[in-house]
Amino acid sequence: MEVIHRLGRIGSALRHPARAQGFAPPAVTCDQDCRLDHALDLMREHDYSQLPNRPQDDGWLLVTREQVSRWLEVEADADGHLLKGSTGSRTEG
């Protein structure tokens, strides 16, 4: 009798599977208008090392902390300053 009861529960679970929609948190992404400082804030806030980015309708890219650190290394001058935007103003790096 126990086997029949267990088979009934298995059959019921197969006919009405549990839904996992409520278990996963919403995805955090960065759209085409997202500024780099905002993307970095999101990464820091959520402790992410990577963040999906959709720059155009060309598909998805992945922004990583490693990419950002390499970009900063290339863009900084000898004193560690970076050019900010197109204004030519400098900011401490």
At residue 80, the pLDDT reads 75
CA distances from 24 to 7, 31, 37, 51, 84 (A): 30, 21, 26, 17, 37
pLDDT in tens, 24-70: 677 887 777 887 778 888 889 988 899 887 776 677 778 888 988 88
At residue 89, the pLDDT reads 36
Which distant-in-sequence residues (6+ apart) come within 8 Å of 64 by Cβ?
49, 50, 51
Report the predicted TM-score, pTM, of the whole model to 2 decimal places: 0.49
With beta carbons less than 8 A apart as the criterion, state whether 91 and 82 touch: yes
CA 56 to chain centre: 16
At residue 54, the pLDDT reads 75
At residue 88, the pLDDT reads 33
The residue ranges of every structural domain in the chain are 26-92
